[in-house]
């Protein structure tokens, strides 16, 4: 078991005075306490920060006076973004978590006063937890990199830099949202055998199941963050669907990488599960297979190897319009754990800042599509359909290679470990709207 300190907030016997938080099926027991930005649907007020507890949200800044020494920290959640909280350091994050855990614990004396500031999740509207200044999308699953590369280079799927460089590119921040509808993009594509491209709706629209990482604190331009200090800059995690138009991407991406094939939309889950909540689920980074090179020194750290991975099982489900009409359950497309990633989150931070690039509170990373070695563990339709060569059969009698209009993709994430209360990430949902008329 990794040497990660736990505290009373992780205690499996701790229960909340919010009844729904004590149900085994909830994603949000008192051991989780993820943050999000919400507004009462019936309310015109500014969005503000809340913490999820069972099927409710506690308005954190409203209960700040009940948080003792963490009062000033709680008051930061009056802002319409978590950035003021994210800009602090791990000590502050832990202090606020402990104060909220205590306030929400069964038997707390201020239970009645806090209850006034508890809102049913069904009554609120959720917003982006933070407006990222930068969005970096990694490519950290070697299985995904291999599967995706195989569609272009069957005999040599992995490029020579993969096992040395935590490959990444910069994504677009203006189109990151917390769910809802995603308009099918139009763009330039070129069909096989044609000389010239044409412009129209993407016909190879895909999802990518990723882990999102919100950074905290900041670093100074010109000064790398060493791997040993990388986790001080990790605030928390969310689910991330990196929608991809494979046909647009294939035509545009040489030589400068993905652009319009990705920038039309990125959907994240509205709840940010903190690093503290995930402490019980830290595991060793997956051992590199024999023959793989060791990471270069700036990416090597014994403690990171021992504790740098997180065991979050991501699942993606699909429900077509017809399936929803028929009342049939969404089908599972893939299920894989982020513990399988070739590169750790710490290595991502160390690499990203190794050239002196500065990071800022609210910066978002995507892990890259999370796929594992198993046929049931694929995180994109590109992989599931073998780049469109194989159709997925659905209970409605429909088939899919890529996404059709009306399809709804739902990601979930869950952490389970003996002796601990399971925690989850809520849902990351997006539904495909038809392209605009040309």
**133 near a second copy, judged by CB under 8 A:** yes
**Binding residue per annotation — 7?**
no
User: Are the CB atoms for 51 and 139 separated by under 8 Å?
Assistant: no
Known catalytic residues are 144
**Binding residue per annotation — 137?**
yes
68 versus 177: smaller Cβ distance to a second copy? 177
Closest CB 188 distance from a second copy, rounded Å: 6
28 versus 135: smaller Cβ distance to a second copy? 135
Site mask for a second copy (CB under 8 A), range 95-124, x = bound: ------------------------------
Which residues does residue 54 pair with via DSSP β-bridges, in sequence order?
A: none
Q: Alpha-carbon distance 120 to 230, whole Å? A: 36
- Listed in order, strand segments (DSSP E) in 242-281 are 244-245, 266-268, 273-274
Closest CB 233 distance from a second copy, rounded Å: 13
Of 57-76, which residues contact a second copy (CB under 8 A)? Answer: none
Report DSSP state, residue 16.
B
**436 near a second copy, judged by CB under 8 A:** yes
CA dist 264 to 171, 172, 183, 202, 243, Å? 10, 8, 8, 11, 8
**169 near a second copy, judged by CB under 8 A:** yes
Q: Which stretch binds a second copy (CB under 8 A): 2-10, 18-26, 292-300, 417-425?
A: 292-300
* Edge-to-edge strand ranges of the sheet holding 118-120: 118-120, 56-59, 48-53, 35-40, 124-127
Coil, helix or strand at residue 335: strand
**234 near a second copy, judged by CB under 8 A:** no
Of 175-204, which residues contact a second copy (CB under 8 A)? Answer: 175, 177, 183, 185-188, 190, 196-199
CA atoms within 13 A on the CB side of 76: 16
Given the DSSP bridges, would you call strands 176-177 and 392-393 parallel, antiparallel or unpaired?
unpaired
Residues near a second copy (CB under 8 A) are 131, 133-134, 136-137, 139, 149, 159, 161, 164-165, 167-175, 177, 183, 185-188, 190, 196-199, 221-224, 245, 248, 251-261, 263-265, 293, 296-298, 351-352, 354-360, 363, 433, 436
């Amino acid at each position: 078991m990794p040497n990660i300190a736990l505290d009373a907030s992780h205690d499996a016997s701790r229960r909340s005075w919010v009844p729904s938080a004590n149900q085994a099926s909830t994603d949000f027991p008192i051991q989780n306490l993820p943050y999000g930005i919400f507004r009462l649907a019936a309310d015109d007020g500014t969005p503000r920060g809340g913490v999820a507890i069972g099927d409710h949200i506690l308005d954190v800044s409203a209960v700040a006076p009940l948080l003792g020494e963490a009062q000033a920290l709680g008051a930061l959640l009056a802002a319409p973004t978590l950035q003021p909280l994210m800009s602090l350091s791990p000590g502050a994050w832990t202090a606020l978590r402990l104060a909220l855990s205590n306030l929400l614990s069964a038997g707390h004396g201020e239970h009645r006063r806090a209850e006034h500031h508890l809102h049913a999740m069904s009554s609120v509207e959720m917003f982006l937890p933070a407006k990222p200044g930068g969005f970096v999308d990694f490519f950290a699953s070697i299985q995904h990199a291999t599967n995706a590369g195989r569609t272009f280079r069957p005999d040599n799927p992995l490029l020579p830099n993969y096992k040395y460089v935590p490959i990444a590119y910069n994504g677009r921040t203006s189109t990151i949202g917390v769910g809802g509808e995603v308009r099918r993009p139009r763009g330039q594509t070129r069909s096989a055998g044609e000389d010239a491209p044409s412009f129209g709706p993407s016909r190879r629209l895909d999802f990518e199941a990723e882990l999102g990482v919100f950074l905290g604190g900041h670093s100074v331009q010109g000064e790398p963050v060493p791997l040993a200090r990388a986790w001080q800059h990790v605030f928390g995690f969310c689910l991330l669907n990196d929608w991809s138009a494979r046909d647009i991407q294939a035509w545009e991406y040489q030589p400068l990488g993905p652009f319009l094939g990705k920038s039309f939309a990125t959907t994240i889950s509205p709840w940010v599960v903190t690093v503290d909540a995930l402490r019980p689920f830290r595991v060793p980074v997956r051992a590199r297979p024999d023959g793989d090179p060791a990471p270069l020194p700036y990416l090597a750290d014994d403690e990171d190897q021992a504790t740098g991975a997180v065991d979050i099982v991501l699942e993606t489900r699909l429900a077509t319009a017809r399936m929803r009409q028929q009342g049939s359950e969404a089908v599972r497309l893939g299920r894989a754990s982020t513990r399988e990633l070739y590169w750790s989150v710490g290595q991502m931070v160390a690499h990203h800042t190794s050239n002196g690039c500065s990071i800022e509170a609210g910066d978002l990373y995507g892990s890259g599509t999370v796929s594992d070695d198993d046929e049931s563990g694929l995180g994109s339709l590109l992989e599931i359909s073998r780049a469109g060569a194989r159709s997925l059969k659905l209970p409605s009698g429909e088939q899919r290679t890529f996404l059709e209009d009306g399809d709804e993709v739902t990601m979930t994430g869950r952490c389970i470990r003996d002796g601990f209360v399971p925690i989850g990430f809520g849902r990351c949902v997006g539904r495909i709207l038809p392209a605009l008329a040309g």
